[in-house]
Amino acid sequence: MKIQQALISVSDKRGVLEFAQGLSGLGVKLLSTGGTAKLLREAGLAVTEIGDYTGFPEMLDGRVKTLHPKVHGGILARRDLAEHMTTLAQHGIPTIDLVCVNLYPFAATVAKPGVTLEDAIENIDIGGPAMVRSSAKNYAGVAIVTDPEDYAPLLAEMKAQGGTLELGTRFALAKKAFTHTARYDGMIANWLTGLEEGAEAKPAEAAPAPSIFPNRLQLAFDRVENLRYGENAHQSAAFYRDPTPLPGSIAAYTQLQGKELSYNNIADSDAAWECVKAFDAPACVIIKHANPCGVAIAGNLLGAYEKAFKTDSTSAFGGIIAFNGEVGLDVVHAMNERKHFVEVLIAPSFTAEARAALASKQNLRVLVLPLGRQLNTLEFKRVGGGLLVQTADDFTAQADRLKVVTRVQPSAQQIEDLLFAERVAKFVKSNAIVFCGGGMTLGVGAGQMSRVDSTKIASIKARNAGLELKGSVVASDAFFPFRDGLDVLAEAGAVAVIQPGGSMRDEEVIAAADEHGIAMVFTGARHFRH
């Protein structure tokens, strides 16, 4: 289909002048509105304003400009129906073959501090979505362009094909356009249904604060790829990411080598990456089945890796490893020397020497991720017939906010180890018990129905790894409901405990700690992870 007339009306003007110049150079007539028309005209392009085109001026502060039969008739007429084309001729309506539209910046408007309801409403586009939907519906005869990233490839295709665009191109643009308007409307719905009752009746200058949990939740994600299968081979699966992935999140990965990621690879890699980001010092996290089986900090990444591996070398086999700094050849050599089989290796960067040494391991998936501290605003969990939604667990204990509840006061070194242990416990499946010392995990008990059992398992794992628990510290993701858990960790050799507190039997547990000569601190916040 040859492009002969285009309508260009954009809020986001990135690249639009160059696009219009390219269209004009191909002999395409240009229609435009308001600021876009002014921009094109000042650049010396021949452009017809919509008001001159329709014979009807823009009115009502620009609310009515493209809502006109001469616009929508030229867009919606089916080129393959003689009746439609005859009707256009009778009314002197030329076809519009390409529509370039993006919408009023609603998201940017409501993101501004102090935005009023009136400002938000005024930045809801009407004519734009109507043109986008009309054009997308009639993709057989119209190309609809909503993304500046498409300008260059479209011009390239038109130049290569004598000013035409293929049906497949137009259909792809239509799908993108419907997605564009759906997300635009979803954004508006989320914001408006998040407002409190009576927001519309408050003074015009009032700045409403929508809830992060709207009454009608609209979600938008883009499919990255279909996966070979899900958690198990009989399950189908795909990976979707946010249209704008959070900086430093697993969705922003670049894969340097290895097989495609599986469902479990992505889930476990996310767990490893979120955990390693929690540390400022050089850190290594080894994950197996979404649980840390070894976490450590040191003066360098090699030291952190050596310590993390010691925690549970058996579980580390076939695991996921994440580092929070540039991985060098020394780390790769250390992994090779002990023939450490790893599914995925993640870091912000790898030296050229490390990359070369890893290249021979064709099955090893190597991911590069920018390091970032941001967390998703909301977390989702699908349940039967519904969706559980919560804010992220962004609590991290701080030394000056710990409450010492025992007669024994923790030492400065113990405080440091306790804070390290609390950061690790945050990423361990509940019920979680984590023994630590010297900047490394010594034993991890995860996912048990009883906290006592988690404590016993952590102790057993430490013993199996040949790690001494005498003098260690312990983190618990939630309070001890009875003293028995504390008795077990005391027997193992722990000298300090960090936990949220808040049990009906706190006094009993504190008394047990005093009895054993253990220092105990409360954080006031639990870290359940189901």
pLDDT attached to residue 357: 95
Q: Which fold would CATH assign to domain 252-368? A: Cytidine Deaminase; domain 2 (3.40.140)
Q: Which CATH architecture has domain 399-522?
A: 3-Layer(aba) Sandwich (3.40)
pLDDT digits (tens, 9 = 90+) for 503-529: 999 999 999 999 999 999 999 999 999
Q: Which pTM does this prediction carry? A: 0.88
pLDDT digits (tens, 9 = 90+) for 5-48: 999 999 889 999 999 999 999 999 999 988 899 999 999 999 99
Tell me how far apart the alpha carbons of residues 204 and 140 are, in angstroms, rounded to a whole number: 45
Contacts of 296 (CB under 8 A, 6+ apart): 283, 284, 303, 304, 305, 306, 307, 308, 311, 439, 440, 441
What CATH number was assigned to the domain covering residues 5-201?
3.40.50.1380
Q: CB-based contacts of 18: which residues, under 8 Å, 6+ apart?
A: 151
pLDDT at 60: 61
- Number of Cβ within 10 Å of residue 20's Cβ equals 24
Closest C-alpha among 435, 434, 429 to residue 449: 429
Domain with CATH 3.40.140.20 in the chain: 252-368, 399-522
For residues 489 and 517, give the distance between their C-alpha atoms in angstroms, rounded to a whole number: 12
Distance CA 258, CA 76 (A): 48
What is the separation of C-alpha 258 from the centre of its chain, rounded to a whole number of angstroms? Answer: 23
> What's the chain's length in residues?
530
Residue 58 has pLDDT above 80, yes or no: no
Is 331 within 8 Å of 301 (Cβ atoms)?
Answer: yes
Per-residue pLDDT, 283: 98
pLDDT in tens, 330-380: 999 999 999 999 999 999 999 999 999 999 888 999 999 999 888 998 999
Phi and psi (nearest 5°) for 213? Answer: -115, 85
Q: 467: closest CA among 492, 445, 443, 448?
A: 443
With 70 as the cut, is the pLDDT of residue 215 above it? yes
Could you read off the pLDDT of 402-413 as tens digits, one per residue? Answer: 999 999 999 999
Closest CA to 481 of 511, 461, 501: 501
Q: Report the relative pairing of strands 222-227 and 47-49 from DSSP bridges.
A: unpaired
Alpha-carbon distance values, 422 to 72, 92, 115, 349, 468 (Å): 61, 74, 39, 27, 19
pLDDT at site 61: 62
Distance CA(181)–CA(133), nearest Å, equals 8
Percent of the chain, pLDDT > 70?
Answer: 98
Task: Tell me what the pLDDT averaged over the chain comes to.
Answer: 92
Residue 209 confidence (pLDDT): 84
Q: Which residues are catalytic?
A: 137, 289
pLDDT tens for each residue of 165-181: 999 999 999 999 999 99
* Tokens coding 63: 């609310």
Write the DSSP string, 39-71: HHHHTT--EEEHHHHHTS--BTTTTBSS-SHHH
**pLDDT at residue 459 is higher than 80:** yes
Residues paired with 435 in a beta bridge: 443, 474
